[in-house]
Amino acid sequence: MSRPSPLDPLRSAPTGTLWWRHGKLSLLLLRAPLLAAGILLLALLMASVASLMLGSAGLGPWDAFKAAFGHGEFATVFVVQELRLPRLLAGIATGAAFSLAGCLMQTLAGNRLATPGIIGIDNGATAFAVASVVGMGISLAPPVMALSGAVIATALAFGLSGGIGTRGYRFLVAGIGVGALFGAGTQLMLARVSIDAANSAYPWTVGSLNARDADSLTWLGLALLIGVPIALWLGRGLNTLRFTDRVATGLGQPVSRVRLITLWLSVVLTAAAVAVAGPVGMVALVGPEIARYLSRHKGVPLLASALAGALVMVLADLAGRTLLSPQEIPVGIVMAVVGSPYLLWILLRSPR
Amino acid sequence: MSAETMLDPRAMNSPADRHAAATTDTLRANELSLGYGARQRHVTVIDSLTLGLPDGKVTAIVGPNGCGKSTLLAGLARLQLPESGAVLLEGKDIHAYKRREVAQRIALLPQETHSPEGVTVHELVRFGRQPYQGALSQWSEEDQRLVAEAMAAADIESLADRELASMSGGQRQRAWIAMALAQQTPLLLLDEPTSALDLGHQIEVFELIQRLAHEEGKTIVMVVHDLASACRYADHIVAMHAGHVIAEGAPAEVVTPELVRKLYGVECRLIPDPDTGTPLLIGVRRTSERLSGSAT
């Protein structure tokens, strides 16, 4: 029996992949998205430390790190543990959820502009969350209200466009209309309630990590804990969705089921994130784009998208907290300022 | 027109029909009706069609635009649920199989294939192994071998690490055929496999298709727009008009000036190709001109 040489083409992993085998189990992973996720994780760690260090009271990296685990002076520990750390965690969780939801929706519609924010899901969730805050209609907790709004907005966009269709254009246009409707609804509610009630709903209308609600954050954590593994498990099916439906079906993929689960996942993640931070939908556009660029457009970079979203959100919040200190710019506004030129660039650059 | 077809002895009792009676066809349509749209807007495209696709041969489905060729192919590939009747795969209703089981028996190359950014030839061909893989059994040495073989058969090995987006139409089509081959299916369904290709690449793809049937025993069903290419490269022709099969059999026997007139409304003469003996269309012109000419 001849022994295969280590350079035997049948035993070495295909170009650009990592091949792991153990008995009957085997994984074949594209190297580029993994590398991108690694780089983004490192950058996120650095941004996180910076976010714990910087603020009205500046700290050294080591002090900030120790204080996060409850060591050091009382005042330092209080600032880091009670103020900066929860805010950092909220930024990471919302950024990851928005961006992962964006990547899922873009893959589903086959269109990089089709993010939940543009399709009106953010606005639907916001309108309902604001309704609960200003005490209009049934007062459920913000996450539940946000989810109801997100589901209704999606159902409307879907129903009006008659499905996603080829390259998602009808869906996009219907979604933009639905989003505008919900946006107007939010403004109308704010105009009709007392100034105090309107004030308390303000963070939800611009997007801010300042007025987080602990319950909402718990729900978001739960959504991510369940959503990320489901998304990774869907990954192989999502990869075939990048081709046409007929190709995916011909390969034995249950295309409609994969699409339905992907859509639900995207809606739930977006709603949970809106309940915490308001409509910072721009993250869903910028995060996946960074992930795709870093992973050289290989596969559907789900993990890298989530990490890129978290990184962008943490950096945007850090900038909002420190640039005009002691005044604070809500993270939604920072994202809009950074994200809008970027959106224009996508629209204006020549197609390949 | 249908009475005329009924009276045409060649359409009714072609050698292919005898062949179909003698051997079993792995893929058959049995009184199949296919359509789309709901209620008032409903359109029946294929009406009660019965057809056997001979094993190990190249079958070309020909007919004018809108005759239901592509819809029939979609029905045969389990992409569309029949309104009545059934597609039988190995004698069993194709919708009684799981998607994955069908994908292990039938490979489909649709007319429109989208090549996403960043996908290389090798990556594309790897997708052909997906019907045999699971979430935790993603890649085996067998997969590796079969992908290499499929790329060799489609003569695309030298471009393994090139991105699809950067290749010519002919190269890309060979890559897609390699993906279908990696599926290791006895049946291969192709929807206008050469529609976007220049003459040189057309010949390349048709010769590959012929080789796959005649040397590897695959059953190939292709929708072809060009009757001349169908005559040249197919063993069996299925001529469709308005959702019905109006003739089927070997090209030399079924392709007649009458059939061409019925299908496309043009006049022509047919001569046997001096090299291959398959029919060649010459002197093609519009029917109306000829009719007005004969009236005077």
Indicate which CATH number applies to the domain containing A325.
1.10.3470.10
Range of the domain at A198: 33-54+89-344
Nearest to A102 by CA among A274, A246, A229, A248: A274
Least confident segment among A162-166, A265-269, B152-156, B267-271: A162-166
Same domain, B195 and B179: no
Contacts of A15 in chain B (CB under 8 A): 120, 122, 160-161
Q: Are B266 and B70 in contact (CB under 8 A)?
A: no
**Lowest-pLDDT choice from A3-17, A51-65, A160-174, A316-330:** A3-17
**Cβ of residue A257 closer than 8 Å to a chain B Cβ:** no
- Spatial distance between the Cα atoms of A284 and A303, rounded to a whole number of angstroms: 13
- Checking ipTM against 0.85, whether it exceeds it is no
Boundary residue ending a domain (B139, B162, B184)? B184
- Pairs of residues, one from chain A and one from chain B, whose beta carbons lie less than 8 Å apart: 103
pLDDT > 70: percent of chain A: 92
- Measure CB to CB from residue A252 to each of B109, B123, B131 and give the nearest one: B131
Residues of A with Cβ-Cβ distance to B77 under 8 angstroms: 250
Distance CA B203, CA B214 (A): 16
Lowest mean per-residue pLDDT among A224-238, A336-350, B163-177 = A336-350
Min distance B259 CA to chain A CA atoms (Å): 32
Same domain, B201 and B155: no
Q: How far apart are CA A204 and CA A207, in angstroms?
A: 5
Closest residue by Cα to residue A53 from A72, A39, A70, A67 = A67
What pLDDT is recorded for position A73? 87
Containing H/E element for B242? none
Cα distance between residue B239 and residue B184, in whole Å: 28
CA distance B267 to B277: 21
- Whether B50 and B85 map to the same domain: the answer is yes
Q: What is the pLDDT of residue A101?
A: 97
Pick from A24, A247, A253: which is nearest to B113 by CB? A247
Quote the number of domains for chain B.
2
Q: Is residue B266 part of a domain?
A: no
Whether residues B66 and B167 fall in one domain: no
Which of residues B184, B214, B235 is at a domain's end?
B184
Asked if residue B281 is part of any domain, the answer here is no
Contacts of B181 (CB under 8 A, 6+ apart): B107, B128, B149, B150, B153, B154, B188, B212
Task: Using the 3D structure, point to which of B184, B209, B232 is the last residue of a domain.
Answer: B184
* B38 domain-assigned: yes
Counting the structural domains of chain A, the total is 1
**Residue B283 placed within a domain:** no
Whole-angstrom CA distances from B38 to A85, B44, B49, B75, B83 are 56, 11, 21, 18, 12
Query: Over the stretch A15-36, which tens digit does the pLDDT of each residue have?
Result: 888 898 888 899 899 999 999 9
d(CA B42, CA B38): 5
Q: In this complex, which of A11, A244, A250 lies closest to B107 when CB atoms are compared?
A: A250
- For residues B208 and B154, membership in a common domain is answered with no
Which residues lie closer than 8 Å to A45 by C-beta, 6 or more apart?
A: none
* Residue B147 belongs to some domain of the structure: yes
Q: Least CA distance to A230: which residue of chain B?
A: B135
Residue A75 domain-assigned? no
**Least confident residue range of A73-77, A233-237, B23-27, B47-51:** B23-27
Residue A62 within a domain? no
Q: Tell me the residue type at A349.
A: R
- Looking at residue A62, its pLDDT comes to 85
Nearest CA in chain A to B115: A243
Task: Look at residue B292 in the predicted model and tell me its pLDDT.
Answer: 41
**Are B62 and B148 within one domain?**
no
Helices (H), chain A: 31-53, 61-68, 74-78, 85-109, 116-119, 121-133, 142-161, 169-192, 195-206, 214-241, 245-250, 255-277, 282-294, 302-322, 331-348
Residue B80 belongs to a domain: yes
User: Is residue B29 in a domain?
Assistant: yes
The answer to whether residue A16 neighbours chain B at the CB level (below 8 Å) is yes
Give SS3 for A141.
coil
Residue A199 pLDDT > 60:
yes
Smallest Cα distance from A235 to chain B, Å = 9
- Read off the pLDDT of each residue in A192-199 and give the average, rounded to a whole number: 84
Per the CB < 8 A criterion, the answer to whether B254 and B11 are in contact is: yes
Tokens of residue A288, six digits: 């996946």
* Residue A140 in this model has a pLDDT that exceeds 80: no
Mean pLDDT (chain A, rounded): 87
Classify strands B219-223 and B58-62 as parallel, antiparallel or unpaired: parallel
The residue segments making up the domain with residue B131 are 114-184
Tell whether A219 is covered by a domain: yes
Q: Nearest Cα to B228, choosing from B263, B247, B255, B265? A: B255
Q: Which residue has the higher pLDDT, A139 or B178?
A: B178
Looking at the predicted structure, is the pLDDT value of residue A93 above 50? yes
Q: Has residue B189 been placed in a domain? A: yes
Residues in contact with B295: Cβ distance below 8 Å, sequence separation at least 6, in sequence order:
none
Distance from CA of A150 to the nearest CA of B (A): 29
B127, two tokens? 């997708």
Residue with tokens 């805010």: A87
Per-residue pLDDT at A165 exceeds 80: no
Give me the CATH number covering residue B77: 3.40.50.300
Q: Which residues of chain B register pLDDT less than 70? A: 1-24, 288-296
At A281-312, the pLDDT tens digits run 889 999 999 999 899 888 899 999 999 999 99
| Contact state of B99 with A236 under an 8 Å Cβ cutoff | no
pLDDT attached to residue A340: 82
List chain A residues with CB under 8 Å of B98: 252
